[in-house]
Amino acid sequence: MTYSTVEGFKNAWLKAGCPIAPPFKNAVYTTDIAYSLVLYRKGQYQVELYTCKPSTQAPLHQHPNVDSLFIYLAGNIDFGMADGSFTDLAKYQHETPEGNHMLLGKTAAALNGAAHTLRVYEEGGAFLSFEKWLNDDPTSVTVHWTGEPVGADHAETLQAK
């Protein structure tokens, strides 16, 4: 796979058939509201799978020096903007004729560590986070975090890093 941007990486990973090869180190993380698994890592790029607990929200936060693209998989989640606002996606909470979610594969971005937030409704939700780490070696955006933690467990994880 060849790429120079997080978008190029996402496209190459998808075109390669979504290879799954979790790294030995720094692969699994948990917070009060989500579980994360690094599905694939190559150099400064990686894909994390996030599954989110129902009826939760992440405060406005950033992942400095990380370009991220989020791809919607399932459930009922909204990605919020840098100003803390959300786009109402209620009209898209439907099943397609193929039996998938109407938002499957739709993308949101947080480039250059832009501030963002996440709101998860009662159905829970899941998404992929495609990342290009600009300076640091990749671990997880769960711990490469600037802003209020999502809860006490997350605060403890951030202290330990």
Q: Please check the confidence at residue 1 and state whether its pLDDT lies above 80.
A: no
Q: pLDDT confidence of 121, banded at 50, 70, 90?
A: very high
pLDDT at position 139:
94
pLDDT digits (tens, 9 = 90+) for 134-143: 999 999 999 9
Round to whole Å and give the CA distance between 108 and 124. 18
Element (DSSP H or E) covering residue 160: helix 152-160
- 109-134 mean pLDDT: 91
Q: Is the pTM of this model over 0.75?
A: yes
pLDDT at position 92:
86
- Residue 31 CB-half CA count within 13 A: 26
Round to whole Å and give the CA distance between 160 and 143. 9
pLDDT digits (tens, 9 = 90+) for 55-112: 999 999 999 999 999 999 999 999 888 888 888 888 888 899 999 988 888 888 877 7
Does domain 6-160 match CATH 3.20.20.70? no
